[in-house]
Structure 1
Amino acid sequence: MGGTAFTTTPENPHLTAPPVLHGAPLDQAGLVVYAVHGRTQGPAFMVEQADRVNLPGVAWVCPQADADTWYPQGFLAPLDDNQPRLDQALDTVRTHLADLGRMGWAAQDVVLFGFSQGACLLAEYLLRDQPSCASAFLHTGGYLGPGKRPWPAVPESGLPGTETVLLCAEEDEFVPLDRAEPTAGALASLGARIEFTTYDDPLHHLNEDSIVRLRRMLRTRLLERVEIVAEAEHPA
């Protein structure tokens, strides 16, 4: 692995500080989770979820939004109403993932995890860029904007076959089901392998079943990577 320095710049308010690192050191981990917090939460919230998952061998990279908010208005507002913060937030995700690539982490070894506003940001990123990644876990989120949007496939995109778990309460006070469902459909139309689950749960949170599902996803990816590395080091 290369160095562990993340890009910072005063030109993007979300990039004035490096992400918070938690769990296994990046140069010793078997898997990376890029964990994006929701509105007003901050990286500490994602660190709490990492501790709930409690899976050794995983490095958690938790970016910090300016003032703990990735974009100012609700995610169903017109896109222009959330500029320039939205573009800056998307640039933050791209920059950090590029940093991980420079450190030696293949995109297929990085899981994207977002909650609430963080899930919305990652849904928008996945649909716009259609990047390669190990898996995506989007809890209580959907793509941005007031209405349905077209999502043409990006040539040589990385979404086909990508395991993508989306979870949402049936009556969440911030994220309506009629946006979470088309987000799952849009990702599926681009080839992602979708698992979509709804909860009869009035609280805006990650319940224990969500943590079990996340742990299961990460354990599977971690075991797959260990097997790949072992095979490369000791071919038959």
Structure 2
Amino acid sequence: MHTKNIITAGKKTTEAKKALIMIHGRGGSAEDILTLANYLNVKDYALLAPQATGHTWYPYSFLMPPAQNEPWLSSALSVLKEVVDDVVADGIAAENIYFLGFSQGACLTLEFITRNAAKYGGTVAFTGGLIGDQLYPENYSGNFNGSPVFIGTSNPDPHVPVDRVKATEKVLKDMGADITVNVYNNMGHTISQEEINWANQLVFK
């Protein structure tokens, strides 16, 4: 399973008013995803990036039945829960906690916030959707109370179908998220400057 290994940057959680939890993709690293902060309006934030054991959060595609990605998926979700609990314990309220993920990390981020919906500061998912061979509404709980969510993705994307992104949008909207989804034709499996601009405008404002 995943060991709790958190790389930090920015302000200390005990000194910052806001925290951003950054989730890397398959084959990536906490250090990699932290470099994105250089392009975001987060200079006063505490930055926390968990490192997946073996550089992957779960072994198979996010579109497989969840049981096939166990016990790694549950372990990854529990790591995120621990990070959030630690940030709250250091005095930062949920409404000042932000999330960002790319690819596999975006899928994990969206799955986590939808299972634990609350009025967070906001969420940015660069190429991601809710996890499973289908959506499992019984796993989702809470209300986002207008928390902003931005999802950007390519059409097509080799890993994340646009129809899953759209289905994810509907679930989050129904749970009270103020969600914006941008689909870019033939962008490729990457993060664009335009997506970063939208993230700053909608979430890190």
Question: Would the TM-score normalized by the shorter structure come out above 0.5?
Answer: yes
Correspondence 1:163 to 2:183: no
Partner Cα separation in structure 1 for residue 139 and residue 74 of structure 2: 19
Correspondence 1:14 to 2:7: no
- In structure 2, the CA distance between the partners of 1:77 and 1:206, relative to structure 1 (3 Å rule), is same
Shift of 1:201: 3.4
* Structure with more strand by fraction: 2
Asked which structure has the greater CA Rg, the reply is 1
One-letter amino acid of the structure 2 residue matched with residue 98 of structure 1: D
Shift of 1:100: 0.5
Q: What is aligned with 2:26?
A: 39
Cα contact 1:39–1:68 (8 A) shared by 2: yes
Correspondence 1:191 to 2:180: no
Shift of 1:148: 3.6
Partner Cα separation in structure 1 for residue 126 and residue 64 of structure 2: 20
Q: What is aligned with 1:143?
A: 130
Q: What is aligned with 1:202?
A: 187
- In structure 2, the CA distance between the partners of 1:218 and 1:129, relative to structure 1 (3 Å rule), is closer
One-letter amino acid of the structure 1 residue matched with residue 196 of structure 2: I
**Gaps spanning 5+ residues in structure 2: where?**
none
Correspondence 1:82 to 2:60: no
Summarize deviations over 1:51-105 as a string: whole Å, max 9, x none: 2226421221111111110000000011110000000001001111001111111
Partner Cα separation in structure 2 for residue 34 and residue 105 of structure 1: 12
TM-score by length of 2: 0.92
Partner Cα separation in structure 2 for residue 218 and residue 23 of structure 1: 18
Correspondence 1:51 to 2:38: yes
One-letter amino acid of the structure 1 residue matched with residue 48 of structure 2: V
- In structure 2, the CA distance between the partners of 1:167 and 1:23, relative to structure 1 (3 Å rule), is same
Which of 55, 77, 101 is 1:68 aligned to?
55
* Count of residues paired in the alignment: 205
Cα contact 2:154–2:183 (8 A) shared by 1: yes
Partner Cα separation in structure 2 for residue 47 and residue 126 of structure 1: 20
One-letter amino acid of the structure 1 residue matched with residue 3 of structure 2: H
Partner Cα separation in structure 2 for residue 148 and residue 27 of structure 1: 37
Cα contact 1:132–1:159 (8 A) shared by 2: yes
Cα contact 2:13–2:87 (8 A) shared by 1: no
Summarize deviations over 1:194-220 as a string: whole Å, max 9, x none: 111111233211110111122234542
- In structure 2, the CA distance between the partners of 1:218 and 1:197, relative to structure 1 (3 Å rule), is closer
Q: Secondary structure at the match of 2:191?
A: coil
Which of 57, 75, 91 is 2:78 aligned to?
91
Which of 119, 122, 125 is 1:132 aligned to?
119
Partner Cα separation in structure 2 for residue 30 and residue 217 of structure 1: 19
Shift of 1:28: 3.1
- In structure 2, the CA distance between the partners of 1:152 and 1:44, relative to structure 1 (3 Å rule), is closer
Partner Cα separation in structure 2 for residue 181 and residue 213 of structure 1: 18
Q: What is aligned with 1:7?
A: none
Partner Cα separation in structure 2 for residue 74 and residue 88 of structure 1: 16
Partner Cα separation in structure 2 for residue 76 and residue 33 of structure 1: 27
**Gaps spanning 5+ residues in structure 1: where?**
1-11, 221-236
Q: What is aligned with 1:172?
A: 157
